[in-house]
Structure 1
Amino acid sequence: MKEKTKHTKIKSLSKTTIKKEEKKMTETPDEPLSPTGRLFMQPSSDEVINCVVAGENPIALDSLKSEISNSLMLKHPRFCSLMLRDGRGREHWRRTAVDVDRHLVVLRARLAGADDDEAVSGYVAGLASSSPLAADKPLWEIHVLAAHNAVVFRVHHALGDGVSLLSLLLTHCRRADDPARLPTVGGSRASAASASALLTRRGWGVWEFVKVVWFTIFYVVEFVLRVAWLSDRRTVVSGGSGVELWPRRLATARFRLADMKIVKRAVPDSTINDVLFGIISSGLSRYLDMRESKALRNGIQITGIAMVNLRPHTGLQELSQLMTGDPGSRWGNKFGVILLPVYYHGSESDPLEFVKRSKAMIDKKKLSLEAPFSYKLMDSIISLLGPKLASMLKYRLLCNTTFTVSNVVGPQEEITLAGNPVKYIRPTSSSLPHAITMHMMSYAGIADMQILVAKDVIPDPRVLANCFQDALLELKAAAEAALKS
């Protein structure tokens, strides 16, 4: 018998069980959405996080379903609630019974693509631009690409940010070398050089205070101007209004963390994020050299938007910390936005200059309160003036910049999902007005950067990914030479 090529659903739970659960849930009062949650429910800000987990072996559907049914996810109120609007248009969470089978979408046929990676990337790119989540059930789904040994977790951004959702995802996983233990997640306390740390530390000096105030004022003014009217110069990688509706393509740039650490050692006091933005600056310069018909002036600014986790820990956290920790660490959307410019340089005698420039810029950003300001600003606008205005301002900010980037530290060791060894974890999101969206996550010594592009603007995302990979190799060679000298 031939397998169906359309999506199929696994056998549903009994109607009696569901009715009993629904009766129990009606006793729980509705809960209003947080201001940021309301923002993500607006049409121009409607965003879904898509996270691919690929296995070494075929996906065992029964084991996966059992893992989900018995997981902490189904004990979390956000994953057991419908999003409803009252007569005044205010959004609320209403508890409901969860039929796991309605959230499992199984695709058994092979997808088009030269290999599994290309096939899965094509599928996720399609989801990113044309597949919203149904509102008649809690806002999450799990797509099983059986022929490619991959699972796609889809969660609406209103349920939580990347740190919350990836922390929850990892509760489904176990360490490959010790199946009784949960994965070891990365992340450390905020750097002592950050503005938040300076303002909470006793004994900091007048000069430090002056720098915090100056850089905060400077970057906050720039942020406001970006929202109002200031925009990047148009290039072949620019997006704009309406681009979020265009078809997408997805490619992956792979980096060895060991290579990034070699570059990090060659630039004193630098971080992996400094190296990452050096790679992005160098890679975009390479790509622009290939695509631009006219020579660009060195130093042209290409502005990115970066998400900054505002919790006390900078990486993923244990779920218990997010669920029961102090208010600043809890579940939800707890992130700010900062502007991170990179600069075009068509010719650079020392590749490490890309990292040095990135470090100098990021060091100044750390000494500002731009991220907390952006979070509080949007929160206040939503609370006082409504989510529609906040969504419009967010959209303008995206249209006036060029790319989005995020970086999350993932599991340090190899892990399993429902007993299946995991090859990689690759998060990305719905389409934005940007033509380039980059999400990087490390896993067991490898950092994968998902590059989601509008294919009518960037028809060759694999070439762009190669530009980033080649940029790291060039930086590594320069770093090794510098360390030897």
Structure 2
Amino acid sequence: MELKEAEEMEPVSPSGQYLNSSALSLSVLGVLESEIPIDDSQCFSLLKDIFLPINPRFSSIMVVDENGEKQWKRVEVKLRNHVKVPIFPSGLSPEAYDKYFDDYISEIGMELFPQSQPLWEVHIIKYPTSHAAGFLIFKLHHSLGDGFSLMGALLSCLQRADDPSVPLTFPSVNRFPSNKKDGNNSNIFSNMYKTFCVVSETVSDFCWSFVKSAWLQDDRTPIYSGDDGIEFRPVSVATTAFSLDQIKQIKTKVDATVNDVIAGIIFLGTRLYMQEMRQGSGEANSTTLVLLNTRAFRSYESVKDMVKPDAKSPWGNYFAFLHVSIPKLADDWSSNPLDFVVKARQIMNVKKNSLGAYLTGRLLEIVRKFRGPEAAARYIHSTLKNSSMTITNVIGPVEKMALNNHPCKGLYFVVTGAPQSLSVTIVSYMGKLRIAVVGEDGFIDSHKLKSSIENAFEMMLNDFFSPLKST
């Protein structure tokens, strides 16, 4: 690769170094489902004129300078090295192409990026499956940015399908349920009690997270093997979609957030799957890592604004891991499945009052300063490996999008390269929540787990609409 004459060097952020190291290498695959067959005749011009100018990271490689520090170095991008168009057998049915598509997702998810070129690829699938007429897969290394950043970049390439001149809009974000306050909340005793709660919850949360990350593994279950090298094994992806309006109805009933409801559904569905696969595992000690966006301002800005030093929603990796124990499957769970949402709300409310995630971030900084970024990356690897699964979500647009006059029927993303057998990702789009279950192929039946999550949602809806139930 020939270097540009005017080379530009910029330090790699600490999180970028952690996520692209000998211990850890994560990738994000954003999947766009097209309503019509894909015409890729303008692919290279679109990448050159629209995608590459979005952010200098897309034209940079990660190098080590003379001081041993990692830097982003601008290079000349050879687009043909970044665009992949696989060839499948011709003339098959959409159902037959489902298998080829699933295998291809697993294959590119396992492949590591060559470090000699910018860390992104575009994969164009021209074969119709039972889900779409064609696919565009944007594969980007996690060191380029988190899901929020990469979604912002993706949206910079897309337009509203009905009117490209009108900007896309997004669902309103309310991270906390409305809390009823009484007139005594401002007195000194109340403030002292709140301070005590924050301190005690922070100490408990940080200590437990540290023990979990450093030593304590989850119980062996149908979703957790504890094996080494899971990040190098094939994966299987299954997706489903829920109505955002129905999620909000449940949210209102239990005075929770949308994220609480989603977590409760996934928790219950996962426990049902575990119990079906192995009796008694519904009561095992299992932990989820919930990824929290740590930006103070969480609405999307243009990427041009995101890369500014004083950006309200800055580009990069701004997230923290929250250790959350998956509620156990009690004997009477079927009489009130909404209890899983209530439990998820209670757990998350405690986490919101804790500074444990902040202290964990400071701990990583200390490890990086005194032992180097590779040691910090090993700590994150251990954090992931000792927990059963990860849940992460991203907000998508309300309106239908289009890319170069290709209407986008659906949208989802997956994260690969983590030392876990299971992850669940969620993205909202056109009033739906698209959930992707990514499981270790041969160990987790992703489609059966997806069905269990669907069953959990149906049970909660039935509980919600039951005339015999009261709030």
Q: How does the TM-score come out when normalised to structure 1?
A: 0.86
The residue matched to 1:278 in structure 2 has which SS? helix
Aligned counterpart, 2:155 = 170
Query: CA separation in 2, counterparts of 1:468 and 1:366?
Result: 25
Farther off after superposition, 153-162 or 131-140: 131-140
**Alpha-carbon offset, residue 221 of structure 1:** 0.8
Aligned counterpart, 2:95 = 114
**Alpha-carbon offset, residue 186 of structure 1:** 3.9
Query: CA separation in 1, counterparts of 2:361 and 2:325?
Result: 19
**Alpha-carbon offset, residue 242 of structure 1:** 1.6
After superposition, the Cα gap between the structure-2 partners of 1:91 and 1:231, relative to the gap in structure 1 and judged at 3 Å, is same
Aligned counterpart, 2:191 = 205
1:161 paired to 2:141: no
Aligned counterpart, 2:107 = 126
Farther off after superposition, 166-175 or 241-250: 241-250
Deviations 1:151-199 (A, max 9, x none): 11011111111100110100111111211133223453754989xxxxx
1:84 paired to 2:63: yes
Deviations 1:267-298 (A, max 9, x none): 1x201111111111211121112110x43474
Aligned counterpart, 2:182 = none
The letter of the residue matching 2:118 is: P
RMSD between aligned alpha carbons?
A: 2.6
Query: CA separation in 2, counterparts of 1:332 and 1:187?
Result: 22
Aligned counterpart, 2:5 = 26
| Equivalence map 1:383-462=2 (5 Å) | 383-458=369-444, 460-462=445-447
Query: CA separation in 1, counterparts of 2:367 and 2:138?
Result: 31
After superposition, the Cα gap between the structure-2 partners of 1:313 and 1:284, relative to the gap in structure 1 and judged at 3 Å, is same
1:360 paired to 2:340: no
Farther off after superposition, 206-215 or 184-193: 184-193
**Alpha-carbon offset, residue 68 of structure 1:** 2.1
After superposition, the Cα gap between the structure-2 partners of 1:94 and 1:207, relative to the gap in structure 1 and judged at 3 Å, is same
* Matching residue within 299, 303, 307 for 1:319: 303
Q: Is the 8 A contact 2:296 2:313 kept in 1?
A: yes
Query: CA separation in 1, counterparts of 2:315 and 2:370?
Result: 23
The letter of the residue matching 1:319 is: V
Q: Which runs of 5+ in 2 are unaligned?
A: 129-133, 180-185
Deviations 1:180-223 (A, max 9, x none): 133223453754989xxxxxx9x993333322222111101111
Aligned counterpart, 2:232 = 245
Deviations 1:72-98 (A, max 9, x none): 543521111122223554321111122
After superposition, the Cα gap between the structure-2 partners of 1:313 and 1:166, relative to the gap in structure 1 and judged at 3 Å, is same
Aligned counterpart, 2:259 = 273
Q: Which runs of 5+ in 1 are unaligned?
A: 1-17, 195-200
1:310 paired to 2:294: yes
**Alpha-carbon offset, residue 117 of structure 1:** 5.2
The letter of the residue matching 1:471 is: A
Query: CA separation in 1, counterparts of 2:43 and 2:282?
Result: 53
Farther off after superposition, 252-261 or 217-226: 252-261
* Matching residue within 313, 323, 344 for 1:339: 323
The residue matched to 1:329 in structure 2 has which SS? coil
Aligned counterpart, 2:249 = 262
**Alpha-carbon offset, residue 330 of structure 1:** 1.6
Query: CA separation in 2, counterparts of 1:134 and 1:233?
Result: 36
Q: Is the 8 A contact 1:215 1:368 kept in 2?
A: yes
The number of aligned residues is 452
Query: CA separation in 2, counterparts of 1:183 and 1:110?
Result: 37
Farther off after superposition, 160-169 or 474-483: 474-483
Q: How does the TM-score come out when normalised to structure 2?
A: 0.89
**Alpha-carbon offset, residue 404 of structure 1:** 0.8
Aligned counterpart, 1:330 = 314
Query: CA separation in 2, counterparts of 1:35 and 1:174?
Result: 33
Aligned counterpart, 2:452 = 467
Farther off after superposition, 106-115 or 48-57: 106-115
Aligned counterpart, 2:131 = none
Q: Is the 8 A contact 1:190 1:312 kept in 2?
A: no
**Alpha-carbon offset, residue 484 of structure 1:** 7.4
Query: CA separation in 2, counterparts of 1:297 and 1:311?
Result: 35
After superposition, the Cα gap between the structure-2 partners of 1:205 and 1:173, relative to the gap in structure 1 and judged at 3 Å, is same
Query: CA separation in 1, counterparts of 2:414 and 2:446?
Result: 15
**Alpha-carbon offset, residue 135 of structure 1:** 1.9
